[in-house]
Amino acid sequence: MKVIIDLIEDIRSAIDNQPDFTLTGMALKANEKNEHEPIWQSNIVHYRLDESAKKLFLFLGQDDPIKVGTLLQELNSYTNEAMMYEVCITYTQDDERQDKSLIGFGEVIPEKRYLLFIQL
């Protein structure tokens, strides 16, 4: 499980807050050797802070992905309490909403993509 401050710190250290990177969600699944392999990836197109659930939901979709600069501008305005909210990727599978906790981060420098990993 990752929280908002983890996300902010990793963006700072991994890509030096470069605002033009896009956000991509990537699902990983453990193989028979217990190694994580990518299964699918999708753009993160929308986000919403849910105060009652104490979570930041990042929604997948086919629209243009959110830029890191746009997300950071919003995240940096949150209270210290909100910085400890869990970050989840949200998508629909078999007509049901799925909320998956982040397990890690990554980047693809040449493509200017910042990756957020979930486990299936």
Q: How many domains are contained in the chain?
A: 1
Taking only the tens of pLDDT, the chain with its 120 residues reads 999 999 999 999 999 999 999 999 999 998 889 888 999 999 999 999 999 999 999 999 999 999 999 999 999 999 999 999 999 999 988 889 999 999 999 999 999 999 999 998
Backbone angles phi, psi at 39, to 5 degrees: -105, -45
Domain that holds residue 103: 4-119
Using alpha carbons, list the distances in angstroms from residue 15 to 11, 73, 106: 6, 15, 9
pTM for the whole structure? 0.92
- The owner of tokens 């250290």 is 13
